[in-house]
Amino acid sequence: MRSRLAAVAASLLAVVAAMTGCAGTPAAPELSGDTFVHDPAFVAGVDGEPSFLYSTGNGQVGDGNIQVRRSDDGADWEDAGTVWDEKPQWLVDAVPGVDNLWAPELYEHDGTWYLYYSASTFGSNTSLIALATNTTLDPADPDYEWVDQGVVIESAGTDFNAIDPGIVEDAEGDPFMAFGSFWSGIRMVPLEWPSGLRAAGTEDDEPLRLADRQSPPNAIEAPYIVPHDGYYYLFVSRDSCCQGADSTYNIAVGRSEDVTGPYLDADGVPLLEDGGTPVLATSGTRVGPGGQSASGGLLAFHWYDADLDGQFRLGLLPLRWRDGWPRVEWPAED
């Protein structure tokens, strides 16, 4: 987990060693159970704790709230319900027509879990990112309760789209939220602890610009930033999601020495000028990977199964590093 820093780093190394038989990258788990997951926020279990997936909701289940899944071994997943039984009424009023909630992000700081999530309707930027907090991710824990903390940022009437939050801390421990989908690309705002909301005095500031395709429809979204060896790596999903086996989604990356950018790809092209080093794309019947997060040395994402009429599925693949850049590879198909 990104936010437990040095204390958890040692635990993650132990998890990796157990999974691989050495101190290295974990093997790709053979997934089973309930793996029909879209936009996974993945948290790998540490020291025998279960792993969790929070994901985009289903409008027919739990009032469309963020879905929860858990696994005791990181491979076999089971449904663990939804964050709430009903959406907060203020959110329904703020985004008319909202059905399911989208693209959650999980971040732990000082014993508190922060759940950022999106409310929008398809093709609109009458959108917002909201926040809830908890002391545990496990619905079976007696202390489990997601407390609504309200809105973080709204985008109605602006040139950006407030969905797809991704949280990162800089070297000083100050939090930032990257976000964005199409419109004016990937943007960023500073946050503050312990509220997890926008930093005081910055609420009216124009969000920073991190990535832009430079041509309509500016098909870039789902930012996720991973600190690694002195750089910040900005993972993005590009092109078309949510079209089943016709999806063209793919994952690309750029890096920066500063959390606020500029982010460049491996060829030195700025992500603000349509740069991006490919990470993962369609391979055979595994179509349109994207909506990524990372934990415990694994990259989580969804993809569309051409063998199952384009049904979306969970992907968990090792996140390897070579020459300063992440490498993710599909396993060979049978």
pLDDT at residue 320 is higher than 50: yes
Residue 79 included in any domain: yes
pLDDT > 70 in the chain, percent: 92
The tens digit of pLDDT for each residue in 248-271 reads 999 999 999 999 999 999 999 999
Mean pLDDT of 53-73: 96
Q: What is the CATH number of the domain that holds 221?
A: 2.115.10.20
CA-closest candidate to residue 177, choices 152, 202, 156: 152
The tens digit of pLDDT for each residue in 177-192 reads 999 999 999 999 999 9
Residue 330 CA to residue 307 CA, distance in Å, equals 16
pLDDT at residue 7 is higher than 50: no
Q: Provide φ and ψ at 91, rounded to 5°.
A: -70, -40
pLDDT at residue 6 is higher than 80: no
Residue 244 included in any domain: yes
Residue 67 CA to residue 248 CA, distance in Å, equals 25
Give me the catalytic one of 39, 164, 169, 212.
Answer: 39
pLDDT band at 26 (very low <50, low <70, confident <90, very high): confident
Residue 219 included in any domain: yes
pLDDT for position 14: 36
User: Has 170 been annotated as catalytic?
Assistant: no
pLDDT at residue 95 is higher than 90: yes
Structure tokens that stand for 24 in this block: 């290295």
Mean pLDDT of 283-294: 98
Domain span at 153: 2-327
Residue 334 included in any domain: no
User: In Å, how far are 74, 77, 135, 258 from 50, measured between CA atoms?
Assistant: 7, 10, 15, 33
Residue 122 CA to residue 119 CA, distance in Å, equals 10
Residue 165 CA to residue 177 CA, distance in Å, equals 6
Domain count, the chain: 1
User: Has 221 been annotated as catalytic?
Assistant: yes
Give me the catalytic one of 105, 169, 221, 265.
Answer: 221
The tens digit of pLDDT for each residue in 65-93 reads 999 999 999 999 999 999 999 999 999 99
Cα–chain center distance at 317:
15
Residue 333 included in any domain: no
Residue 285 included in any domain: yes
Q: Are 105 and 41 in contact (CB under 8 A)?
A: yes
